[in-house]
Chains A and B, each alone.
Chain A
């Protein structure tokens, strides 16, 4: 158990021990969500600003509910209705939010490194809720938490991430988290979206989908991020589905206890067959439930001060 960080900006800079600390802490917060009274006073009196410069629904709702369940005061700030549209710089927007005594800023931004920049110019705690194609740390933490609930250990576990890796911050954060925890990560997808350079992050790259999922314990599907692609990276959606989509025939050739994950939103009939998304081996909705617990745990851990972990005296 160790946590002395002020911000959560990425997974790359975390140690395996720190990742496990978040997962252990989240276990307690998941139990809070199962009680009649789902709220605890841990962040009472603290103000959290959700600064979503890039639109998001599920992550913002998950953070917002996590903040409310910790009794924090919550302000939502979205790009469409903001001064950023009127020409204000990100730094000025953030400084204005800090002048309102915000204690936490949860930020999503289309530019990689934007939360890192904020953490250098502000006194508040900064949480990265997704920055460009760089990282989405809470997603990787909730994915690791979900895997740990089903598989005994990460060491030796085969995780295959299938789809648009190049434009995916979820993939990058997951690769960092899973390799730090000892899992073996395989990446697969169209070669234009899965460059060999990813091997430098400590994972295996293959373009043969059947080979990629044959020995997998976890099959992690990613959505094709049309919004991030400047040009067409593969001929057609139909061809993608045919070559890389997870269908019944492909699933039949995997290990019987292989589980399926997806960060959402899912595109039924594209990267995943509709029936598979709803089958028992799909953890997609568990990921959503666990996301809440992970975000509560992250806020709780960051809120800790500089003092010793143990209470004074005992």
Chain B
């Protein structure tokens, strides 16, 4: 009975929503079946119990840290915490300069120190090198190590086999090694190697994990034993030649002469002095001699050990090798971090017991359910059947999409729902419901202007859409700004607020409006039955609207023809209606259902055109006017 286009559009939109729902649900189901996701959202510590620490970097006055340096610091903390055996730790940066560490349970004193202590960078001369075969075999060649290509793995395996042949299996003892010949004269002097040290080096096993004590036990003026956990190479190093704090800057770029990437490194004046002295000494050793190498040590591990191909006199060095762009960037960032080691102070720490977490989760959910019920109740009170048919299904769909979106984000991004996040979700119930209020009130306004329900839905939508988009934009803007600057709790709140605002917009477009388009064709709503939320009584219509901004009580109102120009009779088609008969006389070329969707202004125009078409008719119209 009505024009088919809006209905077809509505069906397409509803189908789109169905595809979206199936897509999200299917993806999540796939993740769950695969064991990588779970249906319920991941919970933050304040709902699950655990410890959350917010750390602030401690730097000397006047020093500024940038985001890359902070990122390096986070990376180092992450390695340390992983190494300490704490499972499921989450370390992230928040705001401009905060680091948030979340751990299940209560961390012990050691873990706390691990998190707070700064990581030092040092340049030490290499005295002796070796390979930890067991480490290489067990860790690097382990089958689940995805970082290695097959070729690389094969090369390493060959090396391991060679090394095995040379090595005897017994632990080395200090007695097997000679005493040094005298006091060491410089940092590269082999006289640093005592029999104990030599035995230790022989027995040393490399490990990615190291405690803070291990990392900081090496004194700057003592030799140390360490390794490069990425290659399994072990190093016996002399005392510190240049501390990392003397680095003034580091960058990376492509090499002009050769293909590949290089890292540029420059020192401040003291660093230049010390690096000149050290590099000259190292250059004195032949190429290929371990003692020609400089080891760059970060947080107790060697990150790179370049050989010295010429003495560096002006403090500007270039490190080249078989670097990929990423290798080079990484090394440059580590060097930059080394120039300004960051230690952290704990700004706030929260230990939430599991009991309190459960309490908070239960209460949060309870508040949400009460809020939903109250909102739904009020919507029914205000909009009757319209609320039952539109608002409540919409709230359910919005709830399902939000739930799945949060679960999916938990899977892909490790997003965890916090108590503040739940507060954001509950607040958004009101904001979502408001989209309906804006939309329904517009539809009512259009009905009051004399449109039929299908017409009012289209016209109301085109206006409401604009308002809804414009106002939701403010919400999203606020949520994004809040999320970007905020620290701690606030983020979860801002995140859910922004997420639900977006979901709300999707829902209004793909569900609420299409559903209204379909319902507008139902007799119950279109004819304004009692409790439909659109009856004349519920609209309070007893006046006629006359063109933009001008109103008047119609003279026919009192005679009970209230609905003559409103939705009811124009749609249900009361053929006894004299107005209708007169209308058909007057403008016979417009079908009834189209007429029903026109506003009074449009009808007026149609009549006008018609009357202009024939002069006689025009006269008549003027006659009527007076």
Same complex origin of A and B? no
Residues of A within 8 A of B (CB): none
